[in-house]
Structure 1
Amino acid sequence: MSTAARARLDPVDPSLLRGLRDHVHEALRRAIVSGEIPSGAALNERQLAEELGVSTTPIKEALRRLENEGLAVTEPRRGTRVTFDARQAEEMALARAALEGMIARLAAQRVDDAALAAIQATVEQMRAATAEGDVPRLIALNEQFHDAIHDASGCRYLHRLIEGQRVYDHTARSIILGDAEERGRAFAEHAAIFEALARRDPDAAETAMRDHVVRSGRHHVKAAFDRRKEQAS
């Protein structure tokens, strides 16, 4: 009895595979940055694959990416473990504050009217998203606001330095902006940064930006790590 012929299957779209890998990586990164997976915790490939309902292949890639981002480390015969902790989170916030502050200073000196108008439009969108409690929209607008200031500054070198923290910043913002009071404080701080830029005041722009990033970083540390201490006690 012959086997019935069937049509040849088309290859799976690689974009679908990339989507799964990105989803697994984002899920693990968010769990680490939020403090749900604490510093020192082992990241077992088979256990994670079972929990996420995937094969170990995207898990292996996610662990490599986490290590490249400085959130985990792999040691011979000991496997992979989380290294991200409150101290590292605070150090990253302080480093970002220094870079963002200098970028804001230079932006205040170099910004033109067209760039100011674009930043103001973003601030007004942030005002509406804050009032509506639209967290995903606020995260996107936050990144748009900072990117616009980077562009206005013309600081390509400083922008490249800060790009390495983008993955951390995106996840941290999703945690920070989930709090209604924090959304209000963050908007007021962004508005103050814009006002300093509009006045072409380098000192005020640098101070407003630096203070905003430092305070937001401390809020993230408190939300992610103090909560875990409370749960453990």
Structure 2
Amino acid sequence: MREETELAPHDDRIEKLDPRFLTTLRDHVHRTLRSAILSGRFGVNERVNERQLAEQLGVSTTPIKEALRQLETEGLVETLPRRGVLIRFNSGWAEEMILARAALESMIAHLAAKRLTKPAAAELQTTINLMMEATKAGGADDLIALNEKFHDQIHIASQCQYLARMIERQQFYDASIRRVIHSDPAEREIALNEHSAIAAAIISGDTDTSERAMRDHVVRSGETYLKIVFKNKREV
């Protein structure tokens, strides 16, 4: 009789699932709608139609309803009797999100400067060097990817758990907004200088400067975001 065997716990013949496939349809719909709202594609107090959204996204109304309920708990939309679902995201709300993100990111940078390892410091400096090259080349897509990598490296270096979970809800820039921001040569230079200063402070272990530099960077870039999203938009 042939002896039966079991797969080893770390058998490399089977690849791990891509994390992107582990999210539910509701999560995908939620992220898509949330990104559209935070990018200013809907007007303040605009009414959204569930059936139209379902048709546009190619899904049933069920995940749309679930996503809208989640967005309502976040305060981005509101359901009113006989009026339907209204967009409640406005410039004031966006400004509060920016300030909240600035507070969280600055504390994470503080802890990163305190807990940074030598390998992590080398990786952060490498990213800054790549940012310098991408800034000279003017490649918006490369800068977007490097910007996300830069902040991710700081999050990992900080070894934060609680703050890392909180910061997830403050991620409101999407690729389209980042592309507009990074299409401006002056903005690219400013961002590079800010990122370089943050990295230098963290690598040197200067917690106070790291915290202040990160807060100033997030607030300033947030103000640029506000100008882009709410330019010429009248809130009623």
Q: Please show how residues 1-233 of structure 1 align to structure 2 within 5 Å.
A: 22=28, 25-51=30-56, 55-166=60-171, 168-170=172-174, 172-229=177-234
For normalisation by structure 2, the TM-score amounts to 0.77
Question: Once the 2 structures are TM-superposed, how far is the Cα of residue 52 of structure 1 from its aligned partner?
Answer: 5.3
Q: Which runs of 4+ in 1 moved over 6 A?
A: none
- Residues 78-136 of structure 1 deviation map (CA, whole Å, 9 limit, x = unaligned): 32111111011110111111111111112112212111001111112222333333333
Q: Percent identity?
A: 52
- Residues 165-184 of structure 1 deviation map (CA, whole Å, 9 limit, x = unaligned): 23x14455345334333222
Point out where structure 1 has 5 or more consecutive residues left out of the alignment: 1-14
CA contact (8 A) 2:116 2:157 kept: yes
SS in 2 for 1:227: coil
Q: Provide the rounded CA distance (Å) in 2 between the counterparts of 1:185 and 1:64.
A: 39
Aligned to 1:9: none
Amino acid at match of 2:148: E
CA contact (8 A) 2:26 2:67 kept: no
SS in 2 for 1:36: coil
CA contact (8 A) 1:40 1:83 kept: yes
Point out where structure 2 has 5 or more consecutive residues left out of the alignment: 1-20
SS in 2 for 1:137: helix
Corresponding residue pairs, total: 214
For normalisation by structure 1, the TM-score amounts to 0.78
CA contact (8 A) 1:21 1:61 kept: no
Q: Provide the rounded CA distance (Å) in 1 between the counterparts of 2:117 and 2:85.
A: 48
Higher helix fraction (1 or 2)? 1
More displaced 10-residue stretch of structure 1: 24-33 or 136-145: 24-33
Give the alignment's Cα RMSD to 1 decimal. 2.8
Amino acid at match of 2:152: D
